[in-house]
Chains A and B, each alone.
Chain A
Amino acid sequence: MSETEVKVEGGSPASKSVAEIRSNEIRNPQFEIRNSKSAIRNSIVFDDVSKFYGEILGVNRINLQIAPGITSLVGPNGAGKSTLMNLMTGLLQPTRGRISILGTPTDQPEELFHKVGYCTQFDSFPRGYTGREFIESYLLIQGIDKKQAEILTTTALERVSLLDAADRKVAAYSKGMRQRIRLAQSLAHRPSVLILDEPLNGLDPIVRAETIALFRSLAAEGMHLIISSHILHEVDMMSDFVVLLSNGYVLAAGNIHGVRDEMDEHPMQILIRCDQPGKLAARVFAQDHVVEARLHDDLGGLFIRTRRPDEFHLLLNRIVAEGEINVESIGPVDDDLNAVYQYLIGSEHATR
Chain B
Amino acid sequence: MSSTVDIVPSQIAKQPLRWSLRLRQLSAIFTLETSKNFLGKRAIIIYLLALLPVVMFGGAALAPRLTANFVGLHVAYAWIYAILILRTVVFFGCAWIFMNLFRGELVDCSLHYYFLAPVRREVLVVGKYLSGVAASTVLFVGATIISMLLLYFPHFSSESSRFFLDGPGLGHLLTYAGVTILACIGYGAFFLFIGLFFRNPIIPAILLYAWEWINFLLPPLLKKISVIHYLNSLVPIPISEGPFAVVVEPTPAWIAIPGLLLITAVVLVLAGYRIRHLEIRYGSE
State whether A91 touches B1 (Cβ < 8 A).
no
Contact flags (1/0) for B112-150 with A, using CB distance below 8 Å? 111111111100000000000000000000000000000
Listed stretches B17-25, B73-81, B88-96; interface member? B17-25
Which partner residue on chain A sits nearest B280 by CB separation? A91
Q: Which of A92, A142, A159, A207 has the most CB of B within 10 A?
A: A142
Given contacts A122-B282, A143-B28, A221-B7, A138 and B113 within 8 Å (CB-CB):
yes
Given contacts A115-B13, A137-B32, A128 and B117 within 8 Å (CB-CB):
no
Contacts of B118 in A (CB 8 A): 109-114, 142, 189
Which partner residue on chain A sits nearest B17 by CB separation? A110
Shortest CB distance B86–A (Å): 31
Q: Which of B8, B17, B284 has the most CB of A within 10 A?
A: B17
State whether B281 touches A92 (Cβ < 8 A).
yes
Given contacts A92-B280, A210-B3, A142 and B117 within 8 Å (CB-CB):
yes
Interface membership of B109, Cβ < 8 A: yes
CA distance A111 to B113 in the complex (A): 16
Give the contacting residue for B12; candidates A90, A93, A122, A189; CB below 8 A: A189
Shortest CB distance A154–B (Å): 11
CA distance A161 to B277 in the complex (A): 37
Which partner residue on chain B sits nearest A182 by CB separation? B113
Contacts of B114 in A (CB 8 A): 138, 141
Give the contacting residue for A138; candidates B41, B108, B117, B121; CB below 8 A: B117
CA distance A207 to B25 in the complex (A): 34
Which partner residue on chain B sits nearest A217 by CB separation? B3
State whether A110 touches B2 (Cβ < 8 A).
no
State whether A218 touches B280 (Cβ < 8 A).
no
CB under 8 Å from chain A, chain B span 34-50 = 36, 39-41
Shortest CB distance A129–B (Å): 10
Which partner residue on chain B sits nearest A125 by CB separation? B110
CA distance A6 to B128 in the complex (A): 43
Shortest CB distance A142–B (Å): 5
Given contacts A110-B119, A111-B118, A143 and B25 within 8 Å (CB-CB):
yes
Contact flags (1/0) for B261-285 with A, using CB distance below 8 Å? 0000000000000001101111010
Which partner residue on chain A sits nearest B110 by CB separation? A126
Given contacts A109-B117, A137-B32, A140-B32, A128 and B40 within 8 Å (CB-CB):
yes
Contacts of B110 in A (CB 8 A): 122, 124-127
State whether B17 touches A127 (Cβ < 8 A).
no
State whether B3 touches A111 (Cβ < 8 A).
no
Contacts A114-B10, A142-B117, A192-B7 supplied; 4 other A-B pairs, CB < 8 Å? A128-B39, A185-B113, A190-B8, A220-B5
17 contacting pairs across A/B (C-beta < 8 A): A86-B279, A91-B279, A91-B280, A92-B280, A92-B281, A113-B116, A124-B109, A124-B110, A140-B32, A141-B114, A142-B117, A143-B12, A143-B15, A143-B22, A214-B1, A217-B5, A218-B5
Residues of chain B whose beta carbon lies under 8 Å from any beta carbon of chain A: 1-5, 7-8, 10-13, 15, 17, 21-22, 24-25, 28-29, 31-32, 36, 39-41, 105, 108-110, 112-121, 276-277, 279-282, 284
Residues of chain A whose beta carbon lies under 8 Å from any beta carbon of chain B: 53, 86, 89-93, 107, 109-118, 120, 122, 124-128, 137-138, 140-145, 148, 158-161, 185-186, 189-192, 207, 210-211, 213-214, 216-218, 220-223
10 pairs of A and B residues whose beta carbons are closest in the complex: A210-B1, A124-B109, A114-B13, A113-B118, A143-B24, A91-B280, A217-B3, A140-B28, A141-B28, A161-B1
